[in-house]
Amino acid sequence: MSIGIGIVGVGMIANFHARAVADAKGAHLVGATSRRLEPTAEFAAKHNCKPFDSLEAMLADPEVQAVSICAPSGAHLDPAIAAAKAGKHVIVEKPLEVTTERCDQIIRACDEAGVRLAVTFQSRFHESSRLMKQAVEAGRFGKITMGDAYVKWFRSQEYYDSGAWRGTWQLDGGGALMNQAIHSVDLLLWLMGPVAEVSAMTATMTHERIEVEDVAVATLKFANGALGVIEATTTAYPGSLKRIEISGSHGTAILEEEDIKQWQFADETDEDEAVRKRMAGRTETGGGAADPAAIGHHGHTMLFEEVIAAINEKRPSVLDGREGRRSVELIRAIYDSAKTGKIIKLA
C-alpha cells in the first residue's frame, strides 16, 4: 500500500521533499499547506497535488497518512504534535527542533500516539557515508584518536535578508552550526559516538541584521576518548564542500560531501583500491556550499523509503527522534560553552 504524504511549509526545501516523495517507492504526495494560500497553490500546481488551506484540513484528510514538516526550524513543534495527535506519522526536516526541550516534546507526542517519527539527515544514506560507518564498526581505524567536521560555506547578506526567520534564535535556532553544519554534526556523532565534553567560541563576523553566529569553532572530547574539532561558517567565500575526517592508529579516511578523498588503512584489503576509485568524483552538485538549492534529492528519496519501511514494518526509523535530538543537544552545548566560556559536559 502506498503511503500518502502531506507537506507542511512550501519554501525551498519542500521542493526537494516533493521530488523525493515522487521518486520514493511506496509513497505518493497528497498535498501541501502553509500559512499563505498563494504560495501553497503555486506549490500544489507545480507538484500536481492538493492545496490545503490549513493544517487542520490536511490532517483531516484520510489519504494523508504521514506529514513532512518543512516549516522554519523553530516552527516544527506545533505541526509535529498536531500531526501525531491526528494519528499521522511525522517526518521533520532538520533540525528536529531548536532546543532539546522542544525535541523531547515531539518525541513524547509521537511515542504516546504510536506513530513513527523521522528526521531528515539524508547524508547518512550516501554510499560514502555508509562505507565510513562500516570501516568504523569493523575496527579498521584501530584506536580512533580524532574525528573532525569542517563546514566552510558561504551565504550572502541577501540570503539572510530573504526571510524574516533567517538568522533568528527563535525560528532559525542558531546560525552556521544549527542551520548549515548540522548534517555534518549528525554524521560525526553517527561515526564517532557521543561527545563527553565540549569547549567552543562563536562570532558574527560579516553578516548584518542577524542574531546568530556566522563563525563557530568547537573542540570535542568524545566518550571513547578521541578528540575532535567542529568548524562551521557561512563567511568562507566561495564556499567549500563539507568535510569529515576520521583518524586512528591504523587508518585515516576523509569524506568530502559524497566523495571519499582519502581511504588508507594499515591492513589493506582487496576492496580498498576499488573504493578509492569508485568513490572519487561522486559529488554532482555544489553540496549547498554556496547555494542552498545546489543539492540533490536522492538522499531524501532514500530517507523516505526507509521511513515507509519503518511504517510498514511497525518499527522505529533508523533516524528516529532520539537520533535527531543528538545533534541539537551537541549544538546547544556548543552555544552554551561559547556564551559562558566554560567547558560543557554532556550526559
- Tell me the per-residue pLDDT of 116-130, one tens digit each, with 9 for 90 and over: 999 999 999 999 999
Task: Mark whether 310 and 278 lie in a shared domain.
Answer: no
**Counting Cβ atoms within 10 Å, is residue 137 exposed (0-12), middle (13-18) or buried (19+)?**
exposed
Q: Whose CA is closest to 231, among 194, 201, 190?
A: 201
Report the distance separating Cα 298 and Cα 126, nearest Å: 9
Task: Mark whether 135 and 177 lie in a shared domain.
Answer: yes
Judged by average pLDDT, the poorest of 46-55, 58-67, 276-285 is 276-285
Task: Mark whether 131 and 237 lie in a shared domain.
Answer: yes
111 pLDDT above the threshold of 80: yes
296 pLDDT above the threshold of 90: no
Specify the pLDDT at position 287. Answer: 82
Task: Mark whether 228 and 134 lie in a shared domain.
Answer: yes
Number of structural domains the chain divides into = 2
| pLDDT tens column, 183-230 | 999 999 999 999 999 999 999 999 999 999 999 999 999 999 999 999
Binned at pLDDT 50, 70 and 90, residue 31 comes out as: very high
293 pLDDT above the threshold of 80: no
Binned at pLDDT 50, 70 and 90, residue 1 comes out as: confident
Q: Say if residues 52 and 336 touch (Cβ distance below 8 Å).
A: no
Specify the pLDDT at position 306. Answer: 97
Specify the pLDDT at position 101. Answer: 98
Binned at pLDDT 50, 70 and 90, residue 42 comes out as: very high
Report the distance separating Cα 342 and Cα 198, nearest Å: 9
Binned at pLDDT 50, 70 and 90, residue 347 comes out as: confident
What's the Cα-to-Cα distance from 215 to each of 154, 201, 232, rounded to whole Å? 11, 8, 6
Task: Mark whether 13 and 113 lie in a shared domain.
Answer: yes
Higher pLDDT, 85 or 288: 85
Q: pTM for the complete prediction?
A: 0.97
Q: What is the CATH number of the domain that holds 133?
A: 3.30.360.10
Binned at pLDDT 50, 70 and 90, residue 88 comes out as: very high
Task: Mark whether 180 and 225 lie in a shared domain.
Answer: yes
Q: In the structure grid, which three cell numbers stand for residue 163, read together?
A: 526571510
Task: Mark whether 176 and 259 lie in a shared domain.
Answer: yes
Structural domain including 15 reads: 3-122+297-319
Q: What is the CATH number of the domain that holds 83?
A: 3.40.50.720
DSSP letter for each residue of 146-172: EEEEEEE-B--HHHHHT-TTTT-TTTT
Higher pLDDT, 337 or 163: 337
| pLDDT tens column, 281-292 | 888 888 888 888
Task: Mark whether 338 and 237 lie in a shared domain.
Answer: yes
Task: Mark whether 32 and 153 lie in a shared domain.
Answer: no
Specify the pLDDT at position 140. Answer: 98
Task: Mark whether 9 and 144 lie in a shared domain.
Answer: no
Specify the pLDDT at position 39. Answer: 97
What's the Cα-to-Cα distance from 182 to each of 118, 187, 200, 303, rounded to whole Å? 15, 9, 16, 17
Task: Mark whether 195 and 146 lie in a shared domain.
Answer: yes
Q: What is the mean pLDDT of the chain?
A: 97
Task: Mark whether 165 and 35 lie in a shared domain.
Answer: no
Mean pLDDT across the stretch 136-141?
98
The sign of the torsion formed by the CA atoms of 208, 289, 102, 17 equals positive
